[in-house]
Amino acid sequence: MSKEEMKMQMKRLVAIVVVLLMVVALAACGGGGTTSDAPSNADTGTSSSSNDTATSGGGAKYKIGLSNGYLGNDWRQIMIKVAEVFAEKEPFKSDVEFSIVNTDNTPEAQTQAIDAMIEQGYDAIIIDVSSGEALKPVAQRALDKGIVVVAISAPIEHPDIYYVEIDMAAMSTAWAKYLVEQLEPGAKIAVDTGLPGMTVGTGIYDAAMAVFEANDIQVVAEFAGEWADGKGQTEIASVLAANPVLDGLFSQVYGDTIANAFKQAGRDLIPSSAFITNSGMGTALDLNMSIIIGNNCPGVAAMGLDIAYQALEGKNPQKINSFISDCFVNKKDVGLNLGVPLQAIEEGVNYFPDFPPAFNWPVLPSDYPIQVTAQEIFNYQQ
């Protein structure tokens, strides 16, 4: 081979080596795993790249948080316990990193907390709504980041936000109808407005007032029991002191709260409504009270977790998820037709003498596909 031919051969080898090095370099740039900035779509339920890792066996978990804006009553405490127990069940235990962020009871405080959760990269945020209108902007910011948003207890009006609720309007209407059944036209009642500023309390109030206005029931006093035993008893005592004649009580507190206030005032019990607690059920049973007790199932946050998980998994759950819960009365009233299922208060079935006073059961609708037991919640509380 001549010198010129050898030079040409060397040039060809150099060229081949250069091409091979370029191919290797390109492969190295793309072969270490892809990343994506594409966020999840809260409307379709598709998940972001970080969540794709969770569903493809990569070991990561969905980061789901509950924003809770109030801790001032026992129901909220139980709601949190139920959610924590629920999160320890499959598939959530394996696939979800669940946390709860508690704030003061103002939309401003809850907004600030949710903004922080957005920055911390949550995949889904469950919001126990303090004010649907006030929280709409922060919910929109979460949606803009591809975060699944689930509202519970009260809605945030937005087509891309999931909503889970116990139908409070149906429950409140049943309470009001119960009082109408017990009272004569023109009867005088006091009405509990719940927790000021909370959308759910306003809805309960409005539904009841519609029934009272249609049936000639006179509302002579209003008070805010704030869904709390001590506050409720104080407020009812004030109402009794100011109203020597009172025929009925539309209350959003509890059976024992009502009984204690009337006993302290030296007054006979009157037909009432109440939310459920274990001790309230026991008092209603022991005193054979004329009372209807509603159950705003504290498992609503757990159901919100389930909906958020389904959305992240691309299962496209319904946007609106509304459940009608049973109400509870003494046996003498169980045959009434109030538009909701009625159960008689029974020891060992829905009243448990050995369980804490604030405990209430059931915590989930009886037909919900994932259930927890009373003992699980009781043990967790210890």
Q: Please say whether the beta carbons of 191 and 221 come within 8 A.
A: yes
41-62, pLDDT tens digit by residue? 333 232 332 344 344 344 689 9
Flag whether pLDDT at 225 surpasses 60.
yes
Which domains are seen in the chain, by residue range? 49-167+298-324+369-381 (3.40.50.2300), 168-294 (3.40.50.2300)
* pLDDT per position as a tens digit, 270-314: 999 999 999 999 999 999 999 999 998 999 999 999 999 999 999
pLDDT at 72: 73
Q: Confidence class of residue 198 from pLDDT cuts 50, 70 and 90? A: confident
State yes or no: pLDDT of 109 exceeds 90: yes
Average pLDDT over residues 155-179: 96
Report yes or no on whether pTM surpasses 0.85: no
Asked whether the predicted pLDDT for residue 327 surpasses 70, the reply is yes
Show the tokens assigned to 289. Answer: 């009270």
Strand segments, DSSP code E, in the chain are 62-68, 96-102, 124-128, 148-152, 162-166, 188-192, 218-223, 248-250, 272-275, 291-294, 320-323, 327-329, 342-344
305: which 2 tokens? Answer: 């977790």
Distance of CA 333 to the CA centre of its chain: 30
Q: What secondary structure letter does DSSP report for 174?
A: H
Reply yes or no on whether the pLDDT at 26 is more than 50. Answer: no
Predicted pLDDT of residue 197: 73
Reported confidence tier of residue 381, pLDDT bands at 50, 70, 90? low
Q: From edge to edge, which strands make up the β-sheet containing 96-102?
A: 96-102, 62-68, 124-128, 148-152, 162-166, 320-323
What is the predicted pLDDT for the residue at 74? 78
pLDDT for res 195: 86
